[in-house]
């Protein structure tokens, strides 16, 4: 909704998307940027990511099937591999761990070309206690799956 002289000014094809240049959408985007700055959310993401990464690396030390832990900030991934010399991707193990984690109350998704990677991407309102609980559930899921195989 806007004045005709403004809304009719762009040439055909000059506007794209349902939110491009929309005043309300721009105001919402600016409010989000303000919130990121005021609440220091980038630093919070780094802090939470470091906490999660440390926990995932502890699991990597315990379980030979964890081939890699990687990611940026609070978006991390854990690659599951076979215990062969090539460290081949293990999509079947990954699915079993996902299933056991879900039974324990933790939702994780798989990704990667070979579907052998668990991806972690939680909201920035997540607490360290919730991360610890998630790591505990993941630990138990890995233990159950590996014990049964």
Q: What is the mean pLDDT of each run of 10 residues along the chain (149 residues)?
A: 82 65 84 96 97 99 98 98 94 98 97 97 96 99 96
For the entire predicted model, the pTM comes to 0.81
- φ, ψ for residue 127, nearest 5 deg: -100, 160
3-state secondary structure of 70: strand
Q: What is the pLDDT of residue 77?
A: 98
Q: What is the per-residue pLDDT for 17?
A: 63
Instruction: Kindly tell me the sign of the dihedral angle through the C-alpha atoms of 65, 110, 96, 143.
Output: positive
**Predicted local distance difference test score (pLDDT) of residue 14:** 66
Predicted local confidence at residue 36, as pLDDT: 94
pLDDT of residue 13: 66
Domains, the chain, with CATH or none: 4-38 (no CATH), 41-148 (3.90.1150.10)
Question: Dihedral through CA 25, CA 30, CA 35, CA 38, nearest 10?
Answer: -170
Q: Say what the pLDDT of residue 21 is.
A: 66
Mean pLDDT estimate for the chain: 93
């Amino acid at each position: 909704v806007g004045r005709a002289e403004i809304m009719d000014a762009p040439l055909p094809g000059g506007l794209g998307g349902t939110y491009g240049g929309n005043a309300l959408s721009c105001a919402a985007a600016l409010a989000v940027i303000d919130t990121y700055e005021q609440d220091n959310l980038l630093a919070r993401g780094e802090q939470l990511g470091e906490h999660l990464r440390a926990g995932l690396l502890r699991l990597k030390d315990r379980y030979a099937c964890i081939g890699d832990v990687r990611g940026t900030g609070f978006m991390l991934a854990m690659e599951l591999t076979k215990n062969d010399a090539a460290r081949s991707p293990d999509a079947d193990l990954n699915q079993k761990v996902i299933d056991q984690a879900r039974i324990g109350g933790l939702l994780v998704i798989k990704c990667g070309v070979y579907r052998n990677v668990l991806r972690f991407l939680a909201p920035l309102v997540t607490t360290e206690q919730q991360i610890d609980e998630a790591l505990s559930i993941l630990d138990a899921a890995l233990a159950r799956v590996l014990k049964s195989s």
